[in-house]
A = this chain, B = another copy of it.
Amino acid sequence: MNFSHTFIPTLREVPGDAVIASHRLMFRAGMIRKLSNGLFAYLPLGLRSFRKVENIIREEMNAIGSLEIKPTVVVPGELWKESGRWDAMGDALLRVKNRQGADFVVSPTAEEAFTGIVRDELSSYRQLPLSLYQINTKYRDEIRPRYGVMRGREFVMKDAYSYHCDDESLDEHYQAQGRAYRRIFKRCGLTVIPVKADSGAMGGSGSEEFMVESEVGDNTLLLCKSCDYAANVEKAECKLDYSPRFSQEMADRAAENIPPMEKIDTPNVKTIDELCTFLETDAKSFVKTLIYRAVNVELDLSKAPGCEKLAKHKASPGAPETYPEAFFAVAIRGDLDVNEVKLAAVLKASEVALASDADVERITAAPVGFAGPVGLPAAPVLLDQTVTGMNDAVTGALEKDRHYIHACYGRDFNAWLTADVRTVKAGDFCPVCGGELYEKKGNELGHIFKLGRKYTRSMGVSYLDENGKSHVPTMGCYGIGLDRTLASIIEEHHDEQGIVWPVSSAPFHVIIVPIKYQGQVKDVCNALAAELETAGLEVLLDDRDERAGVKFNDADLIGIPWRIVVGDKNLAAVSSGGTPAPKVELKRRSEKEAHLADLDKAAAEIAEDVRACLAC
Which residue numbers of A lie inside 8 Å of B, CB to CB? 5-7, 9, 33, 35-36, 39-44, 46-47, 50, 65, 67-76, 78-79, 91-92, 94, 96, 98-100, 106, 113, 116-117, 120-121, 130, 132, 136-137, 139, 141, 143, 153-154
Q: Which residues of B contact A40 (CB under 8 A)?
A: 72
Collect the chain B residues with CB atoms within 8 Å of residue A39's CB.
72, 74-76
A137 vs B65: C-alpha distance when bound (angstroms): 26
> Closest residue to A118 on the B side, CB-wise?
B7
Query: Which residue, of A41, A68, A139, has the highest number of chain B Cβ atoms within 10 A?
Result: A41
Which of B65, B73, B76, B116 contacts A73 (CB under 8 A)? B73
Chain A contact residues, majority secondary structure: mixed
Partner of A113, one of B41, B65, B132, B137: B41
CB neighbours (8 Å) of A69 from chain B are 7, 41-44, 47
A560 CB to nearest B CB, Å: 17
Give A62's nearest chain B residue, CB to CB: B1
Complex Cα distance A192/B117, Å? 34
Contact partner, A117, options B33, B67, B132, B137, Cβ 8 Å: B33
The residues of B that contact A72 with a CB separation of less than 8 Å are 35, 39-41, 137, 154
State the CA gap A74–B106 with chains docked (Å): 9
Q: A68 vs B75: C-alpha distance in the bound complex, in angstroms?
A: 27
Copies in the complex: 2
A137 to chain B, nearest CB (A): 5
* CB-CB nearest in chain B for A544: B126
Query: Are B74 and A153 in contact, with the CB atoms below 8 A?
Result: yes
In the complex, the chain B residue whose C-beta lies closest to that of A91 is: B99
CB-CB nearest in chain B for A50: B70
Q: Which residues of B contact A117 (CB under 8 A)?
A: 33, 35, 41, 43
Interchain residue pairs with CB less than 8 A apart (15): A9-B121, A35-B72, A36-B76, A41-B69, A41-B117, A42-B71, A44-B67, A47-B70, A72-B137, A72-B154, A73-B154, A74-B153, A96-B106, A99-B141, A100-B143
Q: Ordered nearest first, which 10 A-B pairs have the shortest CB separation?
A: A41-B71, A36-B76, A42-B70, A91-B99, A72-B154, A44-B67, A39-B72, A9-B121, A73-B137, A98-B141
A70 touches B41 (CB 8 A): yes
State the CA gap A121–B33 with chains docked (Å).
Answer: 10
A42 / chain B contacts, CB cutoff of 8 Å: 69-71
Contact across chains for B47 and A68 when beta carbons are under 8 A apart: yes
Which residues on the B side are within 8 Å of A47 (C-beta)? 68-70
What is the bound-complex CA distance between A466 and B408, given in angstroms?
Answer: 88
Neighbouring B residues of A6 by C-beta, 8 Å: 67
Q: How far is the CB of A28 from chain B (nearest CB, A)?
A: 13
Set of chain B residues within 8 Å of A106, measured between Cβ atoms: 74, 96, 106
Q: Taking each of A50, A91, A154, which has the highest tally of chain B beta carbons within 10 Å of its own beta carbon? A: A154
| Given A33-B120, A41-B71, A73-B73, 5 additional A-B pairs, CB 8 A | A36-B75, A41-B69, A42-B70, A47-B69, A96-B96
The answer on a CB contact under 8 Å between B96 and A7 is no
On chain B, the residues within 8 Å of A92 by CB distance are: 99
A40 to B75, CA, bound (A): 10
**Closest partner residue, chain B, to A154 (CB atom):** B72
CA separation between A143 and B106, bound complex, in Å? Answer: 19
Contacts of A35 in B (CB 8 A): 71-72, 75-76, 79, 113, 116-117
Chain B residues closer than 8 Å to A141, beta-carbon distance = 98-99
B113, A78: Cβ atoms closer than 8 Å? no
Q: How far is the CB of A329 from chain B (nearest CB, A)?
A: 34
Residue contact A132 to B74, C-beta cutoff 8 Å: no
Of B65, B68, B78, B116, which is within 8 A of A5 by CB?
B65
Report the bound CA distance from A418 to B531 in whole Å.
64
The reply to whether B76 and A132 contact each other, CB–CB distance below 8 Å, is: no
User: Could you tell me if B96 and A94 are in contact, using CB atoms closer than 8 angstroms?
Assistant: yes
Set of chain B residues within 8 Å of A33, measured between Cβ atoms: 117, 120-121
Docked complex Cα distance between A96 and B141 (Å): 11
How many angstroms between the C-alpha atoms of A117 and B39 in the bound complex? 12
Taking the closest CB of chain B, its distance from the CB of A209, in whole angstroms, is: 26
